[in-house]
Structure 1
Amino acid sequence: MSLLVYPLTQVILAVLIGLFLLKKDWPRSGKWLIFFATAWLYVCSSALFADFLMGSLEDYYRPKVMSVVPKAEAIVVLGGGTRGDTHWSSHGDLNHAADRMLHAADLYKNGKAPFILVSGGAGPGDRSEADIMEQILVTMGVPARAILKESNSRDTHENAVFSKVILDGKGVEKIHLVTSAWHMRRAVPLFAREGYEVIPAPTDYQRLVGTPAVPPFLPTVDDLARTTYALREYVGYLVYRYRGWL
């Protein structure tokens, strides 16, 4: 997805244009553009705004206690929980969305499906995210024989299309779909469109219950990242609608 969706990219471009306008004898326009860019960066970096955006996505899909979660024929875990391999480490590096693997392992160990399909590709020459997720799940105690891999997808649409080939080969019709709660609104209809009965299994909720270390009106890098994820998800949803995938 275009980097122009990212607030930090937007602010950098706006400031550069503002500086250009200042040099071209349009000081008023340049100053206002720089002011609005700075204000936008502040807003996007605050927990108040990040929580608002994340809540607007997460509230569509609430969690359920394991005892009431029905059984399915497979657990499908979407990529996004790892950053890839790092120097000196034998495991891939995990990020905030690693909850996806934890939740999938929890579903499997509670007998909610007989196997897990991990879906996620990689750039040329890199180890696929599916391979990394398999390694992490085995470390969590999931037997390797219960893990299938889809290692070629590069986005959510391909997650659904490429996973269908594997799932259809197993005669699967009903799945638990594991991904971040804020991503679920886009992911569920993609798999439903492929003909599956989808049981949403949301995780990786982004709004904290306790009191944060930094007051919510002060900017932080973490809150800027959460805002970025949310804005990117909204744009992704609109793009997928435009392409007729949803």
Structure 2
Amino acid sequence: MKTLIPLLQPLGVIWVLLGSWLLWRLWRHRWQDLWLPGLAWVIFSVMTCTPLASLLMARLEGVPKMPDKEWPVVDAIVCLGGGAEPSFVEPTGFHLNPSADRLSTALMLHAQKKAPVLVLGGGGYKESGVMHSEADRVLKGLELMGLETSGMVSLGVCANTRDEALKVSALMKERGWTKILLVTSAFHMPRAEGTFVKAGVSLGGTVRCNYVSSVNHVGDFRWLHLPHANGFNVYKYWFHEVIGTWVYQWRGWM
């Protein structure tokens, strides 16, 4: 029963109905005008029933490394935003999202004393005409948890990864830092690393986390399965990074 549950969800119902309609039309020898809905069903099936999106994503993520306790000691750890968002209802003041591994990884490195300073990036969220900073809210939330935040710095509201890179570059010059550790999602690291280097940031190392491809999830990889929305989610991240990389290269940001 647990295996068949995906067929009872909206995605599965649409897949079954469209496939059944195509088979019925083929059985009645009504071939005309089938190529468009047929192509739609094939694309739908490939995206939701196969690991194609995860295989594409795995190429971006690179070869995963086991947790490495030998990361170099640097001047600062920089955690790119995207792992949390401000919230008026959560007790901590922020809501963790699927990229929260960025924050947990950076906190782990800071706890291991890989750097005396942890820099938090992130975007801004507008509510009732007021802009709320992801990084500021996370810092306040960490204080509520009883964590020591005197060695943490917020970049405030950042427009994008390039904005984060420019602000970190300015901080390095201001504070005399020579090396940083860059922490972000594995699929985002190629674009982030290129952007930070282009902005003049000297990297002592990069720490990839938040692997989303099923190839890199324990017991999650299957060649064929019933429709699952995760394929769309993974493809969305992959497509965003590919387009983002092209745009950054075109603008000369990396």
1:16-165 mapped onto 2 (5 Å cutoff): 31-46=34-49, 48-59=51-62, 62-63=64-65, 65-85=67-87, 87=89, 89-124=91-126, 125-138=130-143, 142-165=147-170
SS in 1 for 2:51: helix
Amino acid at match of 1:190: T
Give the distance between the partners of 1:210 and 1:191, measured in 2 at CA: 32
Q: Which has the higher helix share?
A: 1
> 1:75 touches 1:104 (CA, 8 Å); kept in 2?
yes
Query: Which of 225, 232, 236 is 2:240 aligned to?
Result: 232
SS in 1 for 2:38: helix
Give the distance between the partners of 1:100 and 1:51, measured in 2 at CA: 20
Give the distance between the partners of 1:126 and 1:244, measured in 2 at CA: 29
Aligned residue for 1:185?
190
Please give the root-mean-square deviation of Cα atoms over the aligned residues, in Å: 2.6
Aligned residue for 1:202?
208
Per-residue deviation at 1:35?
Answer: 2.9
Per-residue deviation at 1:96?
Answer: 1.3
Distance 1:194 1:127, change over 3 A: same
Amino acid at match of 2:102: R
Larger Rg: 2
> 2:92 touches 2:141 (CA, 8 Å); kept in 1?
no
Percent identity over the alignment? 29
Distance 1:215 1:64, change over 3 A: closer
- Tell me the matched-pair count: 219
Give the distance between the partners of 1:187 and 1:130, measured in 2 at CA: 18
> TM-score, normalized by length of structure 2?
0.76
> 2:75 touches 2:179 (CA, 8 Å); kept in 1?
yes
Per-residue deviation at 1:139?
Answer: 5.6
Amino acid at match of 2:210: D
Query: Alpha-carbon deviations, 1:22-46, whole Å to 9, x = none?
Result: xxxxx966x4333323322332234
